[in-house]
Amino acid sequence: QMGHLRKLFIGATAALAMATFGHNANALEVNETGTFKASADEVWAVVKQFGDIHKWHPWFADTTTFGENGVFYRRIVTPDGGWALETLDAYSWADKSITYSVVDGVFPLANYTSTLSVSSAGSGSTINWAASFDAVGMPDADVVQLIIDAYQAGFQSVAAATGE
């Protein structure tokens, strides 16, 4: 897991005086689904707090939240000091979904918006985690793989947290 983070930061920080924000018709996309034996309610209980991602995702060491001008922010920090500032764009307790965007940080991406949603599936549940973004300072395929790895690491941690 940490190897991915180190790979992420090599050269990326220098390249990132965060790219200008704007719509890119060629945005990259990742759409991953994790399957769990636990119920949707049990899985949602793990992931539902926007400010607690560090409590269930192994790639993050700390999260700080604050509100400013009606916007709710989350600052996530990795064990080696990498960080991103994210906004909470939409939240539905009923639909068990969280949509957020990265607005600043050292990760090799821009225009990143993601939705994590939990659904019932048979006797268990799924998490669908999808994002649209542009790669910055690293090849597209490497940034796509990094996001997939991040989501999969999160799924493994949620499975462990729910007793799988």
Residues, the chain, total? 164
- What does pTM read for this prediction? 0.83
Number of Cβ within a 10 Å radius of residue 30: 18
The per-residue pLDDT for 164 is 87
What is the helix (H) or strand (E) element at residue 136, kind and residue range? none
pLDDT of 66 higher than 50: yes
What mean pLDDT do residues 49-61 have?
96
Identify whether the C-beta of residue 109 lies closer than 8 Å to the C-beta of residue 143. yes
pLDDT of 45 higher than 60: yes
What mean pLDDT do residues 121-142 have?
95
What mean pLDDT do residues 2-31 have?
52
pLDDT of 84 higher than 50: yes
At residue 10 the predicted structure's pLDDT band, cuts being 50, 70 and 90, is: very low
Identify whether the C-beta of residue 135 lies closer than 8 Å to the C-beta of residue 28. yes
What is the helix (H) or strand (E) element at residue 100, kind and residue range? strand 97-105
Q: What are phi and psi of 19, to 5 degrees?
A: -60, 155
pLDDT of 8 higher than 90: no
B/e letters for 53-91, b = 16+ CB within 10 Å, e = fewer, are bbebbebbeebeeeeeeeebbbbbbbeeebbbbbbbeee
CA angle 124, 127, 131 (to 5 degrees): 165
User: Between 101 and 20, whose confidence is greater?
Assistant: 101
pLDDT of 9 higher than 70: no
pLDDT of 63 higher than 60: yes
pLDDT of 158 higher than 50: yes
The per-residue pLDDT for 25 is 54
CA angle 44, 38, 1 (to 5 degrees): 75
Identify whether the C-beta of residue 1 lies closer than 8 Å to the C-beta of residue 59. yes
User: Between 20 and 103, whose confidence is greater?
Assistant: 103
Identify whether the C-beta of residue 105 lies closer than 8 Å to the C-beta of residue 13. no
